[in-house]
Amino acid sequence: MYEKWLKAFHMVATQGGFTRAARALNVGQPTISSHIKALEDHFRVELFHRQGRKFELSDTGRKLLAITQGLYGHEAEAASFLRTVGRNERGLLRLGAVGPYEVIELAHRFRERYPAVEIAVNVASRAEIMARLSNFEIDVGVLADDIGGPEFFSMLYDRHPGLVMMPAGHRLARQKSLRIADLQGEPVIFRDPSSATRRAFEGALAKAGVTVKPILEINSREAIREAVARGMGLGVVSEREYAPHPDIRALPVRDAAILISAYVTVLNARRPRPLIEAAIAVARDASQFRVKR
């Protein structure tokens, strides 16, 4: 019973008049007046001093306003917060990825457009990223394969070639590029089977009928780079993720497609959320300028 009376009082006091309060609450002015009168009559108090069309808060009214500010002021603050999140002026965007390069680039581009939005980035395995997407623990995933379908929306974000890394003293290191056949019989350090780079490399080898010698399997890009630098064998790395090393040469393969893709992935059910829609738009704007091989 009291709630509508108190809300009417609060709106009159904060909006500066009965007409503005009625407009804010989407009711008629007589309704506001009757709520105020009912509140004053029920408790036998005077909340406003009236002189014609002018009014001001009584001492009781001022003290009541301090209380209703705690009730309805937080409501207004909450609504204001939600409006700013809806306009992407605030909020938290949670990104997850199987590798660091594309997700950091996406985070950078998003922050340039929406500087007030906080961003959290998690780099983990494909299985973990998929699980976190499904459990609403992250908002946007950056994966190496297209998993679009009834549950997920997926769009191509980037595509780039792989490079073959070799010790600087290797017999092929002085060339500017390689033929896939040059790798016949070479010792190779592979990533784990879930690696998109490995899958792309093995697909190119199989298509060309080239056989290499797997000597080691490592689930870390940095560890493979260190093993190649020590002369243990060759390795393959995404062009985007290659970091120059004085003891390593990294060469493209000119006659075979070793292509690594990156897809931005979200739950279809969450795609309309403002921050997620904004992230997809940022990714789409970035991807349309890339050279698709």
Binned at pLDDT 50, 70 and 90, residue 293 comes out as very low
> Does the structure show a pLDDT above 70 at 80?
no
CA-atom Rg of the chain in angstroms = 31
Model-wide pTM > 0.85: no
Tell me which of 3.90.1010.10, 3.40.1640.10, 3.40.190.10, 3.20.20.80 is the CATH number of domain 95-156+261-287.
3.40.190.10
2-86 fold? Arc Repressor Mutant, subunit A (1.10.10)
Binned at pLDDT 50, 70 and 90, residue 16 comes out as confident
Q: How far apart are CA 88 and CA 105, in angstroms?
A: 19
pLDDT tens figures, 102-138: 999 999 999 999 998 999 999 998 889 999 998 888 9
Residue with tokens 């407009």: 23
pLDDT tens figures, 158-191: 998 999 999 999 999 999 999 999 999 999 999 9
Please indicate whether the domains covering 2-86 and 158-259 agree at the CATH topology level. Answer: no
Q: Is 58 exposed, middle or buried (0-12, 13-18, 19+ CB in 10 A)?
A: middle
Binned at pLDDT 50, 70 and 90, residue 292 comes out as very low
158-259 fold? D-Maltodextrin-Binding Protein; domain 2 (3.40.190)
Q: What is the dihedral sign for C-alpha 215, 217, 222, 223?
A: negative
What local confidence, expressed as pLDDT, does residue 251 receive? 97
